[in-house]
């Protein structure tokens, strides 16, 4: 059984959570240009309002949301149902990143990271899923990271949060494919955003948020489950996953000098 793609974005009702910056903002702009109706969610209402102001009237909803609060997500979804009568696509892009190594480990940072990056999308999926199940239709797309493939330096909390997303998406795909709902697991490499601006090392195969948005939307159009990019970097990290641990750690220490 193969999951369906998206032949046209025109008229599709899409909820982008994390639309106020970076990849989410770039995806929202592309979707609006393609004629989609986009509900814009994030924590910075001024950025969301600015984005909506550049779009045609009645094509957007501005719904500020902090993904650590279930009630805020639920209230935003209810507004989508009231205004649009339903939802075709959930695109969850929100997340936080704080570089963290073992000699600087802080449990409070780990808790915040897991709360936003793993429990956040779980909350959103739990809220939109009943209606999608009833209709036997819909798309759930969650942005994780190649950092979830295996342990990497400075990702002591971020990496586990994204590894959880991979497992979550895999299980969602297994459960939902027979029920007519498509799941898209999105694993970007390094993307130039406000979050990665915190890095103090050279980021290999760095791409722009606009390039990331193009890869995401192209993958969803084709009905892909595993959307990863840029390929020259993501494929290398996929290869590292299958190596014996001694060899894996040697390569990481040799080539990932961060």
Of residues 165, 155, 150, the one with CA closest to residue 243:
150
Angle (CA) 126-118-62 rounded to 5° is 65
Q: What pLDDT sits at residue 2?
A: 87
- Tokens standing for residue 10: 């025109």
Q: What pLDDT sits at residue 254?
A: 84
Of residues 4, 1, 2, the one with CA closest to residue 140:
4
Our measurement of the distance from residue 242's CA atom to the centroid of its chain's CA atoms, rounded to an integer in Å, reads 24
The residue ranges of DSSP E strands in 67-217, in sequence order, are 89-92, 139-143, 182-188, 191-192, 207-208
Confidence bin at 190 (pLDDT 50/70/90): confident
Of residues 255, 151, 240, the one with CA closest to residue 202:
255
pLDDT tens, position by position, 49-97: 999 999 988 999 999 999 999 999 999 999 999 999 999 999 999 999 9
pTM of the model: 0.94
Task: Report how far residue 118's alpha carbon sits from residue 95's, in angstroms, rounded to the nearest whole number.
Answer: 9
| Alpha helix positions (H), 90-202 | 107-114, 120-135, 158-176
Cβ atoms within 10 A of the Cβ of 121, count? 29
Q: Is pLDDT above 60 for 257?
A: no
Q: What pLDDT sits at residue 18?
A: 97
For the chain, the helix, strand and coil percentages under 3-state DSSP, each to the nearest 5: 50, 15, 35
Q: Is pLDDT above 90 for 178?
A: yes
Q: Is pLDDT above 90 for 194?
A: no
Confidence bin at 203 (pLDDT 50/70/90): low
Mean residue pLDDT across the chain: 94
- Tokens standing for residue 132: 């999608």
Task: Report how far residue 7's alpha carbon sits from residue 137's, in angstroms, rounded to the nearest whole number.
Answer: 14
Task: Report how far residue 97's alpha carbon sits from residue 112's, in angstroms, rounded to the nearest whole number.
Answer: 10
- Which domains, from first to last, does the chain contain? 13-255 (3.40.50.720)
Phi (first) and psi of residue 111, to 5 degrees: -65, -40
Tell me the percentage of the chain whose pLDDT exceeds 70: 94
Q: What pLDDT sits at residue 198?
A: 62
Confidence bin at 206 (pLDDT 50/70/90): confident
pLDDT tens, position by position, 3-37: 999 999 999 999 999 999 999 999 999 999 999 99
Four-residue CA torsion sign, 35, 38, 43, 48 = positive
Of residues 240, 239, 235, 234, the one with CA closest to residue 252:
240
Confidence bin at 246 (pLDDT 50/70/90): very high
């Amino acid at each position: 059984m193969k999951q369906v793609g998206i032949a046209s974005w025109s008229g599709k009702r899409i909820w982008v959570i994390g639309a106020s910056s970076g990849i989410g903002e770039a995806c929202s702009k592309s979707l609006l240009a393609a004629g989609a109706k986009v509900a814009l969610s994030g924590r910075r209402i001024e950025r969301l309002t600015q984005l909506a102001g550049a779009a045609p009237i009645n094509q957007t909803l501005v719904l500020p949301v902090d993904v650590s609060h279930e009630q805020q997500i639920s209230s935003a979804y209810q507004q989508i149902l009231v205004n649009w009568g339903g939802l075709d696509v959930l695109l969850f892009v929100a997340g936080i990143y704080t570089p963290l190594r073992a000699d600087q480990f802080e449990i409070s940072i780990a808790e915040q990271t897991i709360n936003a990056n793993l429990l956040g999308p779980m909350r959103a999926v739990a809220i939109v899923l009943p209606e999608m199940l009833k209709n036997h239709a819909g798309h759930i797309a969650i942005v994780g990271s190649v950092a979830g493939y295996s342990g990497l330096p400075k990702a002591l909390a971020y990496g586990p949060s994204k590894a959880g997303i991979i497992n979550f998406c895999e299980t969602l795909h297994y459960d939902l494919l027979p029920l007519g709902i498509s799941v898209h697991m999105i694993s970007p490499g390094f993307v130039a955003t406000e979050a990665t601006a915190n890095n103090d090392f050279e980021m290999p195969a760095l791409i722009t948020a606009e390039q990331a948005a193009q890869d995401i939307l192209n993958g969803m159009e084709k009905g892909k489950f595993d959307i990863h990019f840029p390929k020259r970097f993501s494929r290398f990290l996929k290869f590292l996953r299958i190596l014996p641990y001694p060899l894996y750690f040697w390569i990481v220490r040799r080539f990932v000098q961060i």
